[in-house]
Structure 1
Amino acid sequence: MSTFDDRETAFENKFIHDEELAFRAEARCNRLLGLWAAQLLGKSGDSADAYAREVVKADFQEAGHEDVVRKLASDLTGKADPDAIRARRAELLVEARGQVLLEG
């Protein structure tokens, strides 16, 4: 293999790795967001975990995170508006990225 081929392979591997980390961070963020919402809804234990899984699944409806925001805004009517949900999501995304990076 030439040096160029080695570099190309290295860049491809880094891209794959970065995309995998980003996906895991997004999923972790959605889980944390679901647990936060579950708390606002008065859920705990297994019920909160089940709700968090629903939130993670909601993210697969369309590209981006607005599908999750819509679900939570609907579920949290009177408790949190879409802007508050987006703000909390931004905070939790930072936390989720840190957790995923620490896990390696």
Structure 2
Amino acid sequence: MAQFDDRERAFEAKYAHDAEMVFRAEARRNKLLANWAGEILGKTGAELDAYVVEVMKSDFEEAGHEDVVRKVSGDLGDKATDDEVRRKMDELLIEAKGQIASES
């Protein structure tokens, strides 16, 4: 019975770790996306830092990433379509995962 309990605890620990890694990667992606969009908008310094915070906060409006897409697309206006923002998010998620893996 102890062996079963050990396996259950190991599975729960792995699940918690995997969930944390997904959260960290998505948060990093959003930060990278905000920097990308902020540069397009001509933001620098403190203004860019504030914009990054705005974008990261927008991710907590609803489940999924469409809230971030709406925020960034709305801010970029005709400089990028929703699909371009989604493609950039996909690219940046790969980059974010790589950055996190290299930090471990």
How would you bin the TM-score normalised by the shorter chain?
over 0.9
Cross-structure match for 1:16: 16
Q: Which runs of 5+ in 1 are unaligned?
A: none
Cross-structure match for 1:61: 61
C-alpha separation in 2, matches of 1:21 and 1:14: 10
C-alpha separation in 1, matches of 2:18 and 2:93: 15
The TM-score, its normalising length taken from structure 2, stands at 0.96
2:49 is the alignment partner of 1:49: yes
Cross-structure match for 1:93: 93
Give the SS at the match of 1:78.
helix
Identity percentage of aligned residues: 58
Give the SS at the match of 1:77.
helix
- C-alpha RMSD of the superposition: 1.0
Q: Which runs of 4+ in 1 moved over 4 A?
A: none
Q: Which runs of 5+ in 2 are unaligned?
A: none
Aligned-partner residue type, residue 58 of structure 2 = A
C-alpha separation in 1, matches of 2:94 and 2:70: 21
* 1:12-67 alpha-carbon deviations (Å, 9 max, x no partner): 00000010011011000000000000001001122112101110100000000000
Cross-structure match for 2:5: 5
2:73 is the alignment partner of 1:73: yes
